[in-house]
Chains A and B, each alone.
Chain A
Amino acid sequence: MTARLTVCLSCDVDSMAVWPTAFGITSPMAMSRGEIEGEVAIPRVLDLLRKHQIPGTFFVPVFTMMAFPDPILRMRDEGHEIGFHGWMHEAPADFDRDGLQEVMDKGFAGHREITGLRPTGYRTPGADITPTMIDALLDNGFLYEATLSAGDFQPWYIRRGDQFVLGEPFRFGTPSELVAMPFSWALNDFQQVEFVGGWSTTMKTAEQLREIWQAEFDFAYDHAQGGVFTICMHPQAIGRGSRIAMLDDFITYMKSKDGVVFSRIGDYASQWKRANPLEEWVPQHPELTGGWAFDEGVVNQGT
Chain B
Amino acid sequence: MASRLSVCLAFDFDTMAVWPLFGMTSGQALSRGEFGATVGIGRILDLLKRHDIKATFYVPGFTALAYAVAARRIRDEGHEIGFHGYMHESLEGLDEAGVRRTIDLGLETHHKVLGVRPVGYRTVGGEFGPHLIPLLVEYGFEYESTMGTKDFYPFPIRHGDRWTPDAPFQWGQPTPLVGVPFSYGLDDMPNFEFVPGWATNMKSPREFGQHWQAEFAYAYDNCPGGIFTTDLHPQCIGRGSRIQMLEGLIESMKQRDGVVFERTGDYVRRWVAEGAAS
Query: Are A302 and B111 touching (Cβ within 8 A)?
Result: yes
A63 within 8 A of B: no
A78 within 8 A of B: no
Query: Are B30 and A164 touching (Cβ within 8 A)?
Result: yes
Contact partner of B202 (CB less than 8 A), chosen from A124, A192, A292, is A192
B93 within 8 A of A: no
Query: Are B196 and A150 touching (Cβ within 8 A)?
Result: no
The interface size bin for chain B is: 35 or more
Instruction: Please give the distance in Å from B92's CB to the nearest CB on chain A.
Output: 14
Q: Which one, B113-121, B124-132, B257-265, is touching chain A?
A: B113-121
A197-217 contacts to B (CB < 8 Å): 198-202, 204, 208, 211-212, 215-216
Contact partner of B115 (CB less than 8 A), chosen from A162, A292, A302, is A302
Contact partner of A169 (CB less than 8 A), chosen from B34, B66, B200, is B66
Query: Are B202 and A218 touching (Cβ within 8 A)?
Result: no
Query: Are B239 and A303 touching (Cβ within 8 A)?
Result: no
A293 within 8 A of B: yes
Query: Are B28 and A128 touching (Cβ within 8 A)?
Result: yes
Number of A-B contacts (CB under 8 A): 151
A24 within 8 A of B: no
Query: Are A220 and B240 touching (Cβ within 8 A)?
Result: yes
CA distance A147 to B193 in the complex (A): 16
Q: Which one, B35-43, B133-141, B152-160, B221-229, is touching chain A?
A: B35-43
Q: Kindly supply a per-residue 1/0 record for chain A positions 202-239, scoring 1 wherever the CB is within 8 Å of any chain B CB and 0 otherwise.
A: 10100010011001101110011000000000000000
Given contact pairs A124-B28, A149-B28, A208-B204, A191 touches B239 in the complex (Cβ within 8 A): no
A71 within 8 A of B: no
B89 within 8 A of A: yes
Query: Are A211 and B200 touching (Cβ within 8 A)?
Result: no
B94-126 contacts to A (CB < 8 Å): 111-116
Contact partner of B26 (CB less than 8 A), chosen from A130, A215, A223, A301, is A130
Query: Are B204 and A215 touching (Cβ within 8 A)?
Result: yes
Given contact pairs A147-B28, A170-B16, A216-B239, A303 touches B202 in the complex (Cβ within 8 A): no
Query: Are A211 and B30 touching (Cβ within 8 A)?
Result: no
Given contact pairs A218-B241, A293-B65, A211 touches B204 in the complex (Cβ within 8 A): yes
Number of residues from A at the complex interface, CB < 8 A: 59
Closest residue of chain A to B87, judged by CB?
A: A167
Instruction: Please give the distance in Å from A249's CB to the nearest CB on chain B.
Output: 17
Q: Which one, B3-11, B69-77, B166-174, is touching chain A?
A: B69-77
Query: Are B68 and A294 touching (Cβ within 8 A)?
Result: yes
Instruction: Please give the distance in Å from A202's CB to the nearest CB on chain B.
Output: 5
Q: Kindly supply a per-residue 1/0 record for chain A positions 177-202, scoring 1 wherever the CB is within 8 Å of any chain B CB and 0 otherwise.
A: 00000011110000110000011111
Query: Are A152 and B16 touching (Cβ within 8 A)?
Result: no
CA distance A164 to B64 in the complex (A): 15
Query: Are B241 and A215 touching (Cβ within 8 A)?
Result: yes
Query: Are B65 and A170 touching (Cβ within 8 A)?
Result: yes
A43 within 8 A of B: no
CA distance A241 to B37 in the complex (A): 39
Instruction: Please give the distance in Å from B194's CB to the nearest CB on chain A.
Output: 4
A166 within 8 A of B: yes
Can you list 16 A-B contacts with CB-CB less than 8 angstroms, sorted by A residue number?
A128-B29, A129-B27, A152-B35, A162-B27, A162-B30, A164-B30, A167-B87, A192-B202, A201-B200, A202-B202, A208-B204, A212-B241, A215-B206, A292-B37, A294-B113, A303-B75
**Extra 10 A-B pairs, beta carbons < 8 Å, given A166-B89, A215-B245, A294-B113:** A129-B31, A152-B240, A164-B16, A186-B241, A199-B196, A199-B197, A216-B239, A216-B241, A287-B69, A287-B70
Q: Which residues of A contact B (CB under 8 A)?
A: 93, 124, 127-131, 133-134, 147-153, 156, 162, 164, 166-170, 172, 183-186, 191-192, 198-202, 204, 208, 211-212, 215-216, 218-220, 223-224, 286-288, 291-295, 300-303
